[in-house]
């Protein structure tokens, strides 16, 4: 494969990881609506000064008062996401130029451009639909899918595992499915502001199974249009249900991923992959517990998001290695 293509893909993967973590940083700062319009900020490509008058801010200034710090956080995220768009377009151009090379991927670079365009639309809808949780979670998944595609194009590890069994392949799929579901639950917890609904650990509301949890209200995916979700709209019992379900999902995902890592670590050909999976899942659980125990420290919460992305890459890579011919 073309060396330039691989290097650009690897740079893009690192940039995508930064963008994913920066998105979490923006969300945790409650800056998702720091700019009430899209793609600019109060109609500009650069954040206005705090002293800018309401007339100069235009109609957006009447909708939302300017908070310069939050607006800059949001725009920095958009600037880097724009850089990611350029990377994907460059990859598609390089792939087209080298289309006669049999080793050059053709479909994935094109799919990546389509994905990044859709991801940009999700970013717009995140703002225009006022942080609707389902759109926020979809935006998170779009970022992770972009990261996974770029990582696959970067060809980090390609050696096949030795004699993978059908049971190992099934375990790999189960671990990946559990992790994807857990990432959804994590995004749902964050977008509904339920991270501290259970402030104690390992119990929740001092109970092993919280009686006040409202699962029916907690998992309504669509609540109509025109409502702002900044700060959350759910009652406390619904947030408890979301948080507790996230903990249950973490337990299932942890068991399956540890089994996968342990099984891979037993084989010399995949020992590094297994140890990576085990190390990342232990790190992720430790960060998750720390978020509850220490009351959502910003750095820990952002690291939790980043570790989830890295763990997803590790599990996807493990599945590729035990399935390739």
Domain-terminating residue out of 156, 185, 218: 156
Is the pLDDT assigned to residue 246 strictly greater than 80? yes
Q: Which residues does the annotation mark as catalytic?
A: 74
Q: 185 pLDDT exceeds 70? A: yes
DSSP 111-136: HHHHHHHHHHHHHHHHHHTTS-HHHH
C-alpha 149/C-alpha 216 separation (Å) is 35
CB atoms within 10 A of CB 17: 20
Measured between alpha carbons, how far is 89 from 79 in angstroms, rounded to an integer? 16
If asked whether residues 47 and 117 sit together in one domain, one would say yes
| Same domain? 149 vs 3 | yes
Asked if 225 and 317 sit in the same domain, the reply is yes
Domain that holds residue 32: 1-156
Q: Is the pLDDT of residue 322 over 70?
A: yes
pLDDT for res 61: 87
Quote the tokens at residue 195.
């991270």
Torsional sign, CA 153, 155, 157, 162? positive
Instruction: Quote the mean pLDDT of the chain.
Output: 94
Distance CA 55, CA 60 (A): 10
Coil vs helix vs strand at 197:
coil
pTM of the model: 0.93
In the predicted model, is pLDDT for residue 155 greater than 90?
no
Whether 149 and 169 share a structural domain:
no
- Residue pLDDT, tens place only, 111-151: 999 999 999 999 999 999 999 999 999 999 999 999 999 99
Nearest to 284 by CA among 259, 303, 265: 303
For the chain, how big is the Rg over CA atoms in Å?
A: 21
């Amino acid at each position: 494969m073309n060396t330039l293509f691989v290097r650009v893909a690897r740079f893009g993967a690192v940039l995508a990881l930064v963008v994913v973590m920066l998105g979490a940083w923006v969300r945790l700062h409650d800056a998702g609506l720091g700019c009430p319009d899209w793609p600019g900020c109060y109609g500009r490509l650069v954040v206005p000064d705090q002293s800018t008058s309401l007339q100069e801010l235009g109609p957006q200034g009447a909708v939302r008062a300017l908070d310069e710090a939050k607006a800059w956080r949001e725009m920095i995220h958009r600037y880097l996401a724009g850089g990611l768009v350029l990377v994907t377009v460059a990859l598609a151009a390089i792939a087209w130029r080298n289309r006669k090379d049999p080793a050059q991927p053709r479909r994935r670079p094109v799919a990546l451009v389509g994905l990044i365009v859709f991801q940009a639309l999700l970013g717009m809808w995140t703002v225009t639909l006022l942080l609707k949780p389902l759109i926020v979670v979809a935006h998170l998944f779009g970022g992770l899918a972009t990261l996974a595609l770029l990582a696959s194009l970067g060809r980090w590890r390609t050696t096949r595992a030795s004699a993978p069994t059908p049971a190992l392949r099934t375990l790999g799929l189960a671990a990946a499915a559990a992790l994807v579901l857990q990432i959804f639950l994590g995004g749902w917890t964050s977008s509904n502001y339920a991270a501290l609904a259970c402030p104690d650990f390992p119990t929740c509301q001092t109970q092993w199974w919280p009686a006040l949890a409202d699962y029916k209200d907690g998992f309504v995916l669509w609540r109509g249009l025109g409502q702002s979700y900044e700060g959350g709209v759910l009652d406390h019992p619904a947030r408890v249900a979301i948080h507790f379900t996230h903990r249950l999902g973490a337990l299932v995902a942890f068991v399956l991923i540890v089994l996968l890592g342990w099984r891979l670590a037993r084989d010399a050909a995949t020992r590094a992959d297994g140890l990576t999976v085990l190390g990342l899942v232990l790190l992720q659980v430790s960060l998750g517990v720390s978020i509850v125990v220490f009351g959502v420290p910003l750095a820990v919460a952002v690291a939790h998001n980043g570790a989830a992305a890295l763990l997803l890459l590790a599990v996807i890579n493990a599945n590729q290695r035990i399935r390739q011919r």
